[in-house]
Structure 1
Amino acid sequence: MRAAALYGTAGSLVLTAVVAAPAGGAQTWTGAAERHGTAVAAERAAAEGIRFGTCSEEQDTPGALQCGTVTVPLDYAHPDGKKIRLTVSRVRATGKHGGRSVPRQGALVYNPGGPGASGMYFPLIGMVPEWKRIASAYDLVGYAPRGVGRSAPLSCQDPDRLAKGPTQSPTHPSEAYKRERIARAKAYARGCVQRSGREIRHFSSVNNARDLDVLRAALGERRLTFMGASYGTYFGALYAELFPSHVRRMVLDSVVNPDPAKVWYRNNLDQSAAFETRWADFRVWTAKHHEVYGLGRTAEEVARSYERAKARLAAEPAGGVVGPGQLQGAFLQAGYYDDHWPQRALALSAYLKGDPKPLVRQAGPHPDAARERENGRAVYTAVECNDAPWPRAWHTWDRDNTRLARVAPFETWDNVWMNLPCAYWPLPRRQPLDVRTYPGELAATLILAAERDAATPYAGALEMHRRLSGSALVTERASGTHGIGGGPNACVNAHLDAYLLEGRLPAKPASCAPHPEPTPPR
């Protein structure tokens, strides 16, 4: 999402599919009390504003970045009940570009996805050349959604208990391994409620959308200009459904499929299938550069090299900390971002030639980030489990993913283990909102998508385009980088700038050639 580190992912990011009948009696997310509570909270936030000042020392940010907080209700049905504070960051519009003065257009609020990712560092993106025109006209605003970072943080387990490596990652797990993972999923779901309390039920995508409206009001914006990436596109779409008249401009980049029947179980199956395709793209690219890496002249030979490394790591972890699970995690990131390809291939090549150090550097655990990782996974789990019904029977998960793993083994089972706590979630689930807007109801929105994006498959962008009346779709062809706005593709960026700066959209679905493939180091 890239400007490299901007588009954070939490765990496997969203998604996996094939059945999930709504649980009987599942509740809905909207009602008169919540609508009234949101209006009350927004009115109060508009009156209070946000007192921006120096960011805390622990955030270690440049002086241009200012920080503040906005207060929101924990439960929008009870706006006078418990409140939580969300941290907010801002860099003011520069007002100049290319030696010319540029009129300010307000605040551009950004969310990088997750669930569980923070946008607190987003405003610094204005220093990147591709973003300077936008930064000249907009205050760039980031924030940590509820549960994330210092915004009423959630926790589901002691961060010190996070797997530090080495771990396994079986493509075809045994029945004993499955039983072990079921037990861990049950314990994790219980731990979420034990450590964060039953209030964790209020951490959801719909409440993220409501928080966004309170933030809009606190910033003094009559209408919201918003850019959401990955999961941020989903609650951005919920915002459009709940508050269509409050939208000024909205960019949805790398789009989650908003179809209620897909949220979230089926979306995750679709994601696992898409990662298989992207894993094949990486192997084809690596084979093209066999002279550099020596991993194989065909995609199949590269796959065999990977499996050799995986087997060797299972027998003897690299550096004592990198096993098959860590290898899988490192190469999963290459499925998100092709700029990881050269270094991942180099590390695999070096390891198979007897030098494990590059692989340990890239795939090894980072103890200093354990608390942030644990928090991100806790928010991811709470939001996705609260959002929608999930299959409760292990038989359903086992059947669907066993079938899928026959054709998409790369990510299928790891995605199951990431999401399985939702099968045992001890709190009520809700029915997802049916996002659908009609002509004249919503300002025209811009949708950006890469055809081969694995984390949010392209079908989601097509579905969002159908559901948001008046939206425009820009596609980066034959590319799979996750998050394309403000990245290396000048064609995509031209559409982004035209929309945010001039309100101009392509007259019909637009197509951009792919950005250049990465090149191996010389």
Structure 2
Amino acid sequence: MRAAAARYGTAGSLVLTALVAAPTGSASGTPPSPETHGSAVAAQRAGAAGIRWGTCAKAEGLPPSIRCGTVSVPLDYAHPRGKQIKLTVSRTKSTKKAGGKAVARQGSLVFNPGGPGASGTYFPMVGALPEWKRIAAAYDLVGYAPRGVGRSAPLSCQDPKGYIKAPTQAPVHPDDAYKRERVAQAKAYARGCASRNPGLRHFSTLNNARDLDVVRAALGEQKLTFLGASYGTYFGAVYATLFPSHVRRMVFDSAVNPDPAQIWYGNNLEQSMAFERRWADFRAWVAKHDKTYHLGRTPEQVLRSYHKVSAELARKPAGGSVGPGQLQSAFLKAGYYDDYWPMRAAALSAYLKGDPKPLIEQAAPEPRGAAEEENSNAVYTAVECNDASWPTDFATWDRDNTRLARVAPFETWDNAWMNLPCAYWSAPRQQPVDVRTPEGALPPTLILAAERDAATPYAGARELNRRLAGSVLVTERDAGTHGIGGGPNQCVNEHLDAYLLEGRVPVRRAECAPHTEPRPTSGVRAAEVPREH
């Protein structure tokens, strides 16, 4: 399930959680599983070893002010002294000054941007932004690449040169021939994942949560302060379920619905429905600014303009590489982040006036990013497929997505094709974790959510709030940007600062008015914030 952590830079997709072991410190009376014992062994070893910080590898693309190191974790926690893999970790130390005043250091703030398949190594750079300066004064900002991502034992399921294919079609109501073609592709992709990655079954949400505890120990922290966005909220919640006594503070920004019945097949269906609503929000905004874009004075007229462009691209791809599939992918980002709205609308408008260059700039695949994109998708697929059972009969997928596409055509089938390899997955499946904590097991935790978020629909935040005793939900009303902490909403940021800096949460659920809508502009070459999916 695709999802992203908007305001932190990169974004990712949603993923599953699986729980087989009793939570650490539980009073169940059952003996600890081998994995539970293995995670304790790995954390103790990492705590003794620490992290040797040095210059970051050139491949990380980070400035010299950021230091990097590695943390060793077991590939298989049932065998903690067996094969080890190394996770790349990045850090900037707390500045200890904010507004000219000395600030006490509070330890490390560890961040995950989601995915599965996204790296958080860039996170220490946010400390230079005004919204983050107070937090950067109090905390070492720590990011890392989870297992499988980047240089952290990277996964690959196919040759990256063949991953980015363009131009492609994107039928919202595919015929039987197209479906057979995509089923064959999904089967081939699943086979490629299995054949190219011998340890594939160990890339899961459960092991991501265990890895997080090893990172905590390597940083020398007795308790974890964690900020997870999108999928990061899900394995953060799994961490809280497994290691409640290790939690200091946790922020869940744009929460995945952790209900085991929704992981992950049901969550993806709900996501497709939510994207239809957000796609309508975008079209309503464009219609409101018809004097700038001339794409239609109603959302329906804007949709006709979009379909006209898609049909023309099907006949003649722009620049030879932008077809309907690339158009849909580019406009899907507008469902995640409304700061894309002006440039996307301007590019569509320019194309209809005879200038395809802005659309090509925004939608054409970037060959230089093929390896990173393929790696990200491989991790996404592995984690989601490993985490839970999926329907194995395409007839079920066909029935559910055909029905949904009648009312939510924009993303439904594209989402289904992305996840279809899970129907043909050969690695053993886990059962989703029953995420929940009893009263008093956790310190207060903070959940941030936008009411119209499409990537992680708002119902997920309410469900997480219900399952984590002592958690408090802060809602940005009538807004849909994915990932809201550290963004343009001062009210949201005040709650984030109060929690991370002082441990304060609202007495009960709190609400913030929506951030200001983007301003229309005819500019079409504005720089985009780099994000995935």
Tell me the TM-score normalised to structure 1 length: 0.96
Q: Equivalent residue of 1:119, what SS?
A: coil
Give the aligned partner of residue 526 of structure 2: none
Give the aligned partner of residue 204 of structure 2: 204
Residue 68 of structure 1 and its aligned partner are, at CA, apart by 0.1
Give the aligned partner of residue 233 of structure 1: 233
Structure 1 residues 15-70: Cα deviation after superposition (integer angstroms, max 9, x where no partner) = 79xxxxxxxxx994666101100000000000000001111123232221000000
C-alpha separation in 2, matches of 1:286 and 1:382 = 37
Q: Do the aligned partners of residues 147 and 486 (structure 1) sit closer, same or farther apart at CA in structure 2, a change above 3 Å counting?
A: same
Residue 190 of structure 1 and its aligned partner are, at CA, apart by 0.3
Structure 1 residues 248-279: Cα deviation after superposition (integer angstroms, max 9, x where no partner) = 00000000000000000000000000000000
| Counterpart code for 2:322 | V
1:81-100 aligned at under 5 Å gives the runs 81-100=82-101
Aligned pairs, number: 509
Residue 443 of structure 1 and its aligned partner are, at CA, apart by 1.1
Q: Equivalent residue of 2:261, what SS?
A: coil
Give the aligned partner of residue 427 of structure 1: 427
1:3-402 aligned at under 5 Å gives the runs 4=7, 6-9=9-12, 13-14=13-14, 28=20, 32-197=33-198, 199-402=199-402
Q: Equivalent residue of 1:255, what SS?
A: coil
C-alpha separation in 2, matches of 1:29 and 1:502 = 33
C-alpha separation in 2, matches of 1:336 and 1:312 = 25
C-alpha separation in 2, matches of 1:169 and 1:240 = 40
Query: Are the counterparts in 1 of residues 7 and 486 from structure 2 also a CA contact under 8 Å?
Result: no
User: For structure 2, which runs of at least 5 residues remain unmatched after alignment?
Assistant: 23-31, 523-533
Q: Equivalent residue of 1:392, what SS?
A: coil
Residue 422 of structure 1 and its aligned partner are, at CA, apart by 0.1
Give the aligned partner of residue 509 of structure 2: 509
Residue 164 of structure 1 and its aligned partner are, at CA, apart by 2.9
Residue 163 of structure 1 and its aligned partner are, at CA, apart by 3.1
Residue 162 of structure 1 and its aligned partner are, at CA, apart by 1.3
Query: Are the counterparts in 1 of residues 268 and 415 from structure 2 also a CA contact under 8 Å?
Result: yes
C-alpha separation in 2, matches of 1:169 and 1:453 = 23
| Counterpart code for 1:307 | H
> Percent identity of the aligned residues?
70
Q: Equivalent residue of 1:108, what SS?
A: strand
C-alpha separation in 2, matches of 1:329 and 1:3 = 16
C-alpha separation in 1, matches of 2:477 and 2:166 = 38
C-alpha separation in 2, matches of 1:431 and 1:423 = 16
C-alpha separation in 2, matches of 1:281 and 1:364 = 24
Query: Are the counterparts in 1 of residues 15 and 116 from structure 2 also a CA contact under 8 Å?
Result: no
C-alpha separation in 2, matches of 1:51 and 1:416 = 43
**Aligned Cα root-mean-square deviation (Å):** 1.3
Query: Are the counterparts in 2 of residues 28 and 431 from structure 1 also a CA contact under 8 Å?
Result: yes
Q: Do the aligned partners of residues 432 and 106 (structure 1) sit closer, same or farther apart at CA in structure 2, a change above 3 Å counting?
A: same
Q: Equivalent residue of 1:407, what SS?
A: coil
C-alpha separation in 2, matches of 1:449 and 1:231 = 13
| Counterpart code for 1:220 | G
Give the aligned partner of residue 20 of structure 1: none
Q: Equivalent residue of 2:87, what SS?
A: strand
C-alpha separation in 2, matches of 1:6 and 1:238 = 24
| Counterpart code for 2:448 | L
Structure 1 residues 133-164: Cα deviation after superposition (integer angstroms, max 9, x where no partner) = 00000000000000000000000000000133
Q: Do the aligned partners of residues 178 and 15 (structure 1) sit closer, same or farther apart at CA in structure 2, a change above 3 Å counting?
A: farther
User: For structure 1, which runs of at least 5 residues remain unmatched after alignment?
Assistant: 17-25
Query: Are the counterparts in 1 of residues 5 and 114 from structure 2 also a CA contact under 8 Å?
Result: no
Tell me the TM-score normalised to structure 2 length: 0.94
Residue 5 of structure 1 and its aligned partner are, at CA, apart by 5.5
C-alpha separation in 2, matches of 1:261 and 1:29 = 19
Q: Equivalent residue of 1:228, what SS?
A: strand
